[in-house]
Amino acid sequence: MRRSLLFIPGNNPAMLQNCDVFDSDAVIIDLEDAVSVTEKDAARALVSEFLNAMAEQPPMELIIRINGLDTEYYPADLEAVVSDKIDTIMLPKATVEYLEKLDKLLSEIEKKKRMSKKIGVVPIVELAISVLQIEEIVKCPRVNGVLLGAEDLSGDVGVMRTKKGNEILYPRMRLAYACAAYKIDAIDTPFTDTNDNDALTEDCLFVNNLGFNAKAAIHPNQVPVINSVFVPAQKSIEWALRVEEAARQASLKGLGVFSLDGKMVDKPVIQRAENIIKKARKYNLI
Amino acid sequence: MKRGIAGSLESNDALITVKESDKLTITVKSIVYDFFHKQIEKVIRDTLKELGVEKIDVVCEDKGALDYTIKARLIVAVKRMEASE
């Protein structure tokens, strides 16, 4: 259950060595778009040595965005970074075919390196074909969340990106429902204006209502905003706790359905309340 | 003469330049020279040993890089030198 995932350029030593201070639930060390073609080797070596030097597991999830399986770089990326030190591989331009191939490659490396951990995968949906394949993508091996990549997707579809994001409403809704159906993280595309946190807040609230539970960040300043939106509001937590208590009392009386504040409470409402409480406990809000 | 460069002069990074040579020479320029030049030189020597390189000219311009950054930059600089025409 992630809220914020912060991108960090893989060839930036200053950002790498401070990656655990930004309070994001996950850090995505980027070997793809944030690294120029001429520096792929340098970024790969730096991230590899950074991981080797890491004495203990950092407090947040460690994700590496490798280069796409349509490039010449991904075999060396995987060889350099896959180890027990990382949690997840993020796959750009993901399709079902590439995800199945990645699963096989990871299995081979895990076996060769005698790893104790099974690496998770977060595909990026950033091609029109991937939006259409989303119901299959969420079922692929290792996939525990999906990131919407709106910039590349807009390019693929041939539409302009706007701050309001009407052009990505369809992929957002498809992704949110597919992830909800398979109980994995729906991660929204980064908000690219790093100087407008009011609009970022609005964007987070909007996608949270669509069903997204997390958002990627491209600047550390975006992390507190994202973290504050993708948790239950105090009012919701208070409501959920009252539902939980009322459900306990009703259960003692053998009631499956009961009334609270004049409104019917049944199993789906209790389930929603339990989810809010679970999330609130995870982030120490109770 | 074959040459390889890796890294940058950004804060927390190091710019490493290596050249083919018939002897081993290591030059360290650092913003924290007084405190860390011996440690930086040790990282360079250890990394060259790991790479099996005995004779080379290394210039490290350090801007406060951690050991693993210096090691990574040196590895890449040597590989680039070996791949250069």
pLDDT, position A286 = 87
The whole-number average pLDDT for the span A245-253 is 92
**CB nearest to B68's CB, from A12, A14, A53:** A53
pLDDT, position A283 = 86
Domains of chain A listed by start with CATH number? 4-229 (3.20.20.60), 234-282 (no CATH)
What is the spatial distance between Cα A225 and Cα A204, in angstroms, rounded to a whole number? 8
What is the spatial distance between Cα A26 and Cα A62, in angstroms, rounded to a whole number? 6
pLDDT, position A232 = 86
Please give the mean pLDDT across all residues of chain A: 95
CB contact under 8 A, B11 and A17: no
Give B1's pLDDT tier (boundaries 50, 70, 90): confident
**Percent of chain B with pLDDT strictly greater than 70:** 100
CB pairs under 8 A between A and B: 43
Give A225's pLDDT tier (boundaries 50, 70, 90): very high
Give A242's pLDDT tier (boundaries 50, 70, 90): very high
pLDDT, position A203 = 97
pLDDT, position A1 = 79
**pLDDT per residue over A261-275, tens digit each?**
889 999 999 999 999
Mutate to test the interface with B, among A49, A50, A54 (most CBs of B within 10 A): A49
pTM of the model: 0.91
pLDDT at A36 over 80: yes
**pLDDT per residue over A154-201, tens digit each?**
999 999 999 899 999 999 999 999 999 999 999 999 999 999 999 999
Q: Which of residues 39-58 of A touch B (CB under 8 A)?
A: 41-42, 45-46, 48-50, 52-53
**Percent of chain A with pLDDT strictly greater than 70:** 100
Please give the mean pLDDT across all residues of chain B: 96
CB contact under 8 A, B76 and A41: yes
Q: How far is A109 from chain B (nearest CA, A)?
A: 22
pLDDT at A240 over 80: yes
Non-local (6+) Cβ contacts of A96 within 8 A are A133, A136, A137, A140
pLDDT, position A63 = 98
Do the bridges between strand B14-20 and strand B3-7 make them parallel or antiparallel, or are there none, so unpaired?
Answer: antiparallel
**CB nearest to B79's CB, from A12, A14, A41:** A41
Q: Write out the two tokens for A252.
A: 């003692």
Residue of A nearest to B13 (CA): A13
What is the spatial distance between Cα A88 and Cα A86, in angstroms, rounded to a whole number? 6
Domains of chain B listed by start with CATH number? 3-83 (3.30.230.70)
**pLDDT per residue over A49-108, tens digit each?**
999 999 888 999 999 999 999 999 999 999 999 999 999 999 999 999 999 999 999 999
The whole-number average pLDDT for the span B72-82 is 97
Hey, is the C-beta of B80 within 8 angstroms of any chain A C-beta? yes
Do the bridges between strand B56-62 and strand B14-20 make them parallel or antiparallel, or are there none, so unpaired?
Answer: antiparallel
pLDDT at B85 over 80: no
Mutate to test the interface with B, among A46, A48, A51, A52 (most CBs of B within 10 A): A46
CA atoms within 13 A on the CB side of A16: 28
The whole-number average pLDDT for the span A23-41 is 97
Q: How far is A48 from chain B (nearest CA, A)?
A: 8
Contacts B67 to A, Cβ<8 Å: 53
What is the spatial distance between Cα B24 and Cα A218, in angstroms, rounded to a whole number? 43
pLDDT, position A256 = 84
Do the bridges between strand A61-65 and strand A88-91 make them parallel or antiparallel, or are there none, so unpaired?
Answer: parallel
**CB nearest to A45's CB, from B66, B67, B72:** B72
**pLDDT per residue over B43-55, tens digit each?**
999 999 999 999 9
